Structure 1
Amino acid sequence: MPAPKKTARRSLLVTSAVLSSLALAAPAAVAAPSPSGSPSVSPSGSPSATPPASMSSVGGARLGQPGTQVNLASGVPVLPKDVSARSWIVADAESGDVLAAHNAHWRLAPASTLKMLFADTLLPKFPSTAEHKVAPSDLAGIGPGSSMVGIKEDETYTVRDLWLGVFLQSGNDAVRVLSAMNKGVENTVKEMNEHAEELQALDTHVVSPDGYDAEGQVSSAYDLTLIARSGLQKKDFREYASTVTAKFPGETKKGKKGKPVRKPFEIRNTNRLLSGDSDVPVYQGIAGVKNGNTTNAGATFTGVAERNGKVLLVTVMNPEKDEHNAVYKETARLLDWGFKAAGKVQPVGELVPPRSAAQAGAQPGANPSGEAGGSGNGAGGTAGTGAKPVASAPAANGASGIGIALGITGGVLVLLAGGAFLVNRRWPLPDLVRRRTRP
């Protein structure tokens, strides 16, 4: 499906950096050899060791070509050579420009990055303060070896608790409970597929809402980036995705004098660029989004980060390098490149808006996608066209809001409420949550 023209955005949202980029002479296109490796699953369930010769053209014809797509010109930094992922993409979260990509539309198993679509679909349905008592049937069908946050039958949890379990611990048990609240897994899968189609994430097919390996379940680096961008329109999505640690309700037990006691326990975000690890430092400017890892998918990750007023999205799928935390290391290298290349490199494609936004894109100030709202957490409003970003202001640690960071080795992450931005087809990205490390 061809990408919609970007005349509206180009006429209204051209910055000096983009102007200087467009003033360059026509760049040379670079196509690198496609990676090889173990087979992946296609929609039909058949294995595929290499990307198809022809893939989807959503976002531009270059994105449907196999291999690396990037425009080289004077002053454009060279892409990092030590990126082994089967598929990846670097995009400007605000303008929608795809700065570089590698097999962007290759349909691969997404693992738990699919939970971004689950969240983007269900978050608006339940207020964060709503409570749900877990029935045994709520936890039925969880696959063996699933990541779990530790939900117990007959215990009551708030919706906020459940979403923290989804985002921080990638809990398939939390996904199943929220799905049960949403009229069941089958209905949830149906709605996720419908939402993917609305987002023009046409490489994506959902079989299991938690991303657990299932025949025919696929997505692509392009689609996961689209989905993340849509999710970031929601205040609660941004805050959950950027939360480092949280307290999760434990099991009710008898305390002293026989009184019931329910002690919480700490959960920590498994996104290593956000929480850090022995061989991966917290990435400067990281603000989420979601990681995943299954036998079939390998490691997958979509991250969003901000530096010097630029907000980038990077998705990396299945690094072939046998290295601990390879998916995070390769994402960090691509983010580093993106921040250096932004404003210098001509894009090879774009992140398209949702279908409803594209259809109504000519209406000034319109937000037809309806994606800016939250799920009852007081999501920020939408700025009309012509709105200017407001100054960022830190929120104090210890505040009750979700996503306020606790202390982290190497620096303190501070929650910054960014301004309202105009993105592709006047589709606003309000109050982007940003995180920075400070020395």
Structure 2
Amino acid sequence: MLTPPTPARRSLLVMSAALLSASLAAPAAAAAPAAVAAPSPSTSPTATPPAHMSTVGGARLGEPGTQADLGSGVPVLPKDVTARSWIIADAESGEVLAAHNAHWRLPPASTLKMLFADTVLPRFPRTNEHKVAASDLAGMGAGSSLVGVKENHTYTVHDLWLGVFLKSGNDAVHVLSQMNGGIKQTVEDMQAHADELQALDTRVLSPDGYDRPGQVSSAYDLTLVARSGLQKKDFREYCSTVTAKFGSDEIRNTNRLLSGDTDVPVYQGIAGVKNGNTSQAGATFTGVAERGGHVLLVTVMNPEKHEHNEVYKEAARLFDWGFGAVGKVKPVGELVPPKSAVRAGARPGATSPAGQAGGTGSGGPSSKPVAAEPSGDRARGAGIALAVAGGLLVLLGGGAFLVNRRWPLPDLVRRRTRS
């Protein structure tokens, strides 16, 4: 059950009454910039950023080095960011505010679990139970992060997802993958979903992000995946949970901007998303945070500085810059819509793949009013019913991919605990 929040944490995120509308009658060719993959088909990470990378999201995002337009009134980018690749984007509009080697293909570590969740989470109701067999836990890599799933024990899908998000449990990932038809099937499903999202830098070889030769993603792709996952109510809940019960143990989220650490304070407005660390990938992190009515996504991959919690420190600096620059800086690119949305003719920034909303096993579109819920809007199949202040209900037809300010981002939900 939820631990009641303190009065100081009862602030609610300001709801936006200005709704995005999809231009469904527009030709698909005008809906988004052409998705141009990297010139080289190689998926092996390089020692230095390639001279030419993918131009998905804009030509500047395919250029090596830092891309930013620092005009009048825009703060100077932090100088002490050593990550090989990073990106700062407005989660609502999809505008990329600044980036550094955004399409550099690098090992993603456990941030790839965001793609696993975005692909598999909608397929099983959270109340479903599964008794773990020995075969469910076979094939995990040596030194895998574990939540403590035990053979012959029965777990709910809800508990397994908490294990995935809070402890980055490869054991929980393997059990859910077996429920999904096996590791091979799940990898194929994840790759197909990455392609649908236009995450074209991503090659999936393991569902848990464990190092595999040739398994790569990019800061741009991970940000696309996070934005897609955050459309789902259950995804938002799990990635914002700080502590929970798993069996007889209490588990705590390893995302230090969410849960805090001795040298990293909890970041104001943080609400997820996922961290990772392997010997090949180094430290990786994608986060979402809200401040002053703006929702930003930041991804950081492999800081060259190897101090304790460095990936979180650098992400916090980039968030700080983003919140100071949003509304002032000229974007250098955009987060593109999924392919199905382009085919439907919806405009960038307000588009959606059909059937991606949800994550709770709910059915098709609903024509009935849906009351506002504390944890966000309800997505229903091909449409999203959005309740705004005063009980106004607007149905966005054609499967609008809407990132809006009714995400559960305030401290009230960020401090969520489960028992």
Question: For the superposition of Structure 1 and Structure 2, which TM-score range results when normalised by the shorter chain?
Answer: 0.7 to 0.9
What residue number does 1:18 align with?
A: none
The AA in structure 2 aligned to 1:427 is F
Find the partner of 2:185 among 172, 176, 187.
Answer: 187
Question: Contact 1:236 / 1:377 at 8 angstroms: preserved in 2?
Answer: no
Q: CA shift at 1:389, angstroms?
A: 4.8
SS at match of 1:228: helix
Find the partner of 1:428 among 378, 386, 402.
Answer: 402
1:321–1:233 distance in 2 versus 1, CA, 3 Å? same
Find the partner of 1:322 among 306, 313, 331.
Answer: 306
Question: Contact 2:206 / 2:212 at 8 angstroms: preserved in 1?
Answer: yes
Could you list the per-position Cα deviations for residues 152-191 of structure 1 after superposition, in whole angstroms to 9, with x for gaps in the alignment? 1000000001000000000000000000101100000000
The alignment of Structure 1 onto Structure 2 pairs a total of residues equal to 359
SS at match of 1:291: strand
1:307 aligns with 2:291: yes
* Structure 1: 5+ residue stretches without partners: 1-8, 13-41, 250-263, 393-418
Find the aligned partners of 1:63 and 1:360 in 2 and give their Cα distance: 25
SS at match of 1:301: strand
Q: Which 4+ runs in 1 deviate beyond 4 A?
A: 9-12, 42-47, 365-368, 382-389, 419-422
- 1:368-387 pair list within 5 angstroms: 368-376=353-361, 380-382=377-379
The percentage of aligned residue pairs carrying the same residue is 72
Question: Contact 1:43 / 1:216 at 8 angstroms: preserved in 2?
Answer: no
1:344 aligns with 2:341: no
What residue number does 1:282 align with?
A: 266
1:368–1:183 distance in 2 versus 1, CA, 3 Å? closer
- 1:83-162 pair list within 5 angstroms: 83-162=81-160
Q: CA shift at 1:72, angstroms?
A: 1.6
* Structure 2: 5+ residue stretches without partners: 1-19, 24-39, 364-375, 415-419
Larger Cα-atom Rg: 1
Q: CA shift at 1:223, angstroms?
A: 0.1
TM-score, normalised relative to structure 2: 0.80
Could you list the per-position Cα deviations for residues 240-262 of structure 1 after superposition, in whole angstroms to 9, with x for gaps in the alignment? 0000000001xxxxxxxxxxxxx
Question: Contact 1:93 / 1:229 at 8 angstroms: preserved in 2?
Answer: yes
Q: CA shift at 1:116, angstroms?
A: 0.1
Larger RCO, structures 1/2 (Cα 8 Å, 6+ apart): 2
1:10–1:101 distance in 2 versus 1, CA, 3 Å? farther
Find the aligned partners of 1:128 and 1:388 in 2 and give their Cα distance: 24
SS at match of 1:63: helix
1:362–1:115 distance in 2 versus 1, CA, 3 Å? closer
Question: Contact 1:372 / 1:428 at 8 angstroms: preserved in 2?
Answer: no
Question: Contact 2:298 / 2:318 at 8 angstroms: preserved in 1?
Answer: yes
Find the aligned partners of 1:345 and 1:173 in 2 and give their Cα distance: 43
SS at match of 1:303: strand
TM-score, normalised relative to structure 1: 0.77
Could you list the per-position Cα deviations for residues 369-398 of structure 1 after superposition, in whole angstroms to 9, with x for gaps in the alignment? 332222238984249799785489xxxxxx
1:366–1:285 distance in 2 versus 1, CA, 3 Å? closer
Q: CA shift at 1:46, angstroms?
A: 5.1
Question: Contact 1:372 / 1:380 at 8 angstroms: preserved in 2?
Answer: no
SS at match of 2:235: helix
Find the aligned partners of 1:209 and 1:360 in 2 and give their Cα distance: 29
1:211 aligns with 2:209: yes
1:154–1:106 distance in 2 versus 1, CA, 3 Å? same
SS at match of 1:188: helix
